[in-house]
Structures are given as structure tokens and as C-alpha cells.
Amino acid sequence: MTTADPRPDPAAPHSSRSVLLRVSEVITETADACSLVFEVPADLRERFEYQPGQFLTLRIPSELTGSVARCYSLASSPHTNDAPKVTVKRTPEGYASNWVCDNVRAGDTIEVLPPSGVFTPKDLDEDLLLFGAGSGITPIMSILKSALAGGSGRITLIYANRDGDSVIFAEELRELADKHPQRLVIVHWLETLQGLPNVEKLAALARPFAEHRAFMCGPKPFMDGVHDALAQLGVPRNRTHAEVFNSLAGDPFADVEPEEISEAEAADAATVDVELDGEVHNLQWPRSQTLVDIMLSKGLDVPYSCQEGECGSCACTVLEGKVEMDNSEILDPEDIEAGYILGCQAHPVTDHLKIQF
């Protein structure tokens, strides 16, 4: 630690959407991973209700840029009454992850955006096939615990790590397997013993559970292998769900100022009925602006984090009409075919649209 204490102590949030949360506990999970448990005051609990598999965006101080924003998955479950917990694993060049593991202590305050993300099962009673590698276990753990506590389906977890010492949540997973022997099967894959998991080996492990709905999170080579293995087994892509995180280049903690619209743009604007939290808003949608832009300009509490099309926080469904997107790489082709769009990347094509968050 440097002579000047680098621990977080922001005086006030940097945006109207972010809040300051106290870290109530720091848990050492492995030699290179830790969990932060947050204390959520009673007046913020409704804003911090979350779905299994979602994430929090944290504002991390930076000597070079003032701050960086990073998304960390919630490893806790909303079905077990535990306090929200994110888990952070060091990466060799990961400024934010190393900073968190080196500096954050119980009692510190961190600026946080409310929960976001669409990597969450719609039905906890379904049979689930879960794949995790390394720190990719974090959203998988949230889904697993939620399905066991709030659902009735069978769950299989295939969890890959470098070695036994790298297994995050090892003891908790053992306890869950002992408590739910009829519903939970855990298969550990250790590179030091079995080598890297390839498509054929992953397919062999997954074959008995190919009828289950699949969720995966981990490094890109691992998830590419899982995708190929499930395709080899004939699992439809609309039954496979992947969580991908990219470092955020922008600042989601800065309030967005609405852009000025010319008279010509206003005259050519589309109209959109947006359903948000059960309420429908009728808005003018200038074609140069994104859906998130226009909703923010009207003071609506639209979910978003990166505004770069990289996190999925603003995913929503087109019920009527058509949009074009600047960047949609985070969405699978099947997602797009089903009507999913990213509000921060979407521009109207048709004159009238209906969209649901």
C-alpha cells in the first residue's frame, strides 16, 4: 500500500443513479480472489433487488484517469436472504481487480450502480446445465444457489480451474452438494490433472444433460469450446446462455446530458411506446439518438451501464417495429431473432415501435 491511503472514501456519488455502499466484509476466497459483501441501507433495498446472475458496476479509483468502471457478478443469491456479494479475481494486467484485492477493507465505501444484466434464468424449476471456468463461477454460483433455494429442477455444474487451490467457493460447493444429493451434481475439471478442456471432452461431460438449459461464464476459449460442444450435441442455441464481460472504456457514473435536436430531426422522429416497470411511456424518438438517450432525456430510470453495447444492462425486447444497432456483438443471433436489442445502441428504422424492458 502506498503512503497515501488508496482505499475508497468518496464523499458523494458522481451521478444521480449511483450510490455509496459500505463494504461490511471482505472474504478471502483463494490466493488470488476475494469477495466484497455490501451493506444495503433500508431505503436502498428496493433499488438493489436483483435477479440471479446479475452484476454490479463499481467505480474504482485510478491514478491515471481518476476512476475506471468495472462490472463484477453477484455471487450471492436473492433467494437466500444473504447480503449482496461480488467476487473479484486478480488478472495479470487487471488494474481494477488487483486494486480491489489489495486495498478494499471492511468499513470502506464504494460507489456502485444498481444491479444489471440479463444472464438470468426465467424459470428456476427448469433442469440446468451450468458451466464455469475460473472467476466465471460467480454468476453461475448465484444461479445455482437460487435454483436450489427457489426452484425444483436438477442442476449439473461443470467447473474448470487451473488446480485445486484455484477453486473459488470450494467449501460452499461441497456443502451444497452434500445438502442436495438428489438435485445437484458437481464435476470439477482441473488443468493440472486433466489438461485443458476441449470440445470432445466437454461434449462427453455434457451429453447426459443435453436436455437441460445451459448457462456458461468464463474465458472466451472456454466458452467457445462449450458452445461447440453443445452444438455437437444438438442443443438449440436458444437454450444456451453466455455471460461476457468487457472492460468499460466510458464512464457510466457520469450523468448524460441530452443532445440538442434540430427541427428537421424532430419532424422526422419515430414514436415509441416503451414499457418500463409496468408503465408505458409514449416518446418521440429522433433517429440520430439511441433509445437510452431519449429515455434519459425524459428523466426515466432506464437500466444501463456502459452505453457501449458491451454489458447487456439495457437489453430489452422489440414487440413491434424495427431498429438498427451500432454494436450488437454481445447478443447471439438467436437473441436478435427473438427481438432482443440493446437500448444504448438502437436507432429506429420504422416510424412507430413498441419496446418492453
* Span 128-243 CATH architecture: 3-Layer(aba) Sandwich (3.40)
Residue 220 and residue 228: Cα distance in Å, rounded? 12
Q: How confident is the model at residue 2 (pLDDT cuts 50, 70, 90)?
A: very low
Q: What is the domain partition of the chain in residue ranges? A: 19-116, 128-243, 263-356
- Pick 121 or 81 by higher pLDDT: 121
Q: What is the pLDDT of residue 48?
A: 95
Residue 95 and residue 70: Cα distance in Å, rounded? 10
Domains 19-116 and 128-243 agree in fold: no
CA distances to 56, 112, 297 from 38, rounded to whole Å, are 11, 10, 31
Neighbouring residues of 211: CB distance < 8 A, sequence distance ≥ 6: 127
Q: What is the pLDDT of residue 258?
A: 66
Task: Convert the pLDDT of each residue in 152-202 to its tens digit.
Answer: 999 999 999 999 999 999 999 999 999 999 999 999 999 999 999 999 999
Q: Is the pLDDT of residue 114 over 80?
A: yes
Q: How confident is the model at residue 338 (pLDDT cuts 50, 70, 90)?
A: confident
Residue in this structure with the C-alpha cell 418521440, named with its chain if needed = 284
Residue 209 and residue 81: Cα distance in Å, rounded? 30
* Residues paired with 25 in a beta bridge: 37
Percent of the chain with pLDDT over 70: 96
Q: Is the pLDDT of residue 1 over 50?
A: no
Task: Convert the pLDDT of each residue in 233-250 to its tens digit.
Answer: 999 988 999 997 766 767
In CATH, the number for domain 19-116 is 2.40.30.10
How confident is the model over 46-69, as a mean pLDDT?
A: 90
pTM to 2 decimals?
A: 0.84
Task: Show the cell assigned to 123.
Answer: 424459470
How confident is the model over 89-117, as a mean pLDDT?
A: 93
Residue 195 and residue 205: Cα distance in Å, rounded? 15
Task: Convert the pLDDT of each residue in 271-326 to its tens digit.
Answer: 999 999 889 999 999 999 999 999 988 888 888 877 888 788 898 999 999 999 99
Q: What is the pLDDT of residue 295?
A: 94
Tell me the residue type at 276: L
Q: What DSSP assignment string belongs to 152-183? A: -S-EEEEEEESSGGG-TTHHHHHHHHHH-TTT
Task: Show the cell assigned to 153.
Answer: 429442477
How confident is the model over 145-156, as a mean pLDDT?
A: 98
Q: What is the pLDDT of residue 167?
A: 98
In CATH, the number for domain 263-356 is 3.10.20.30
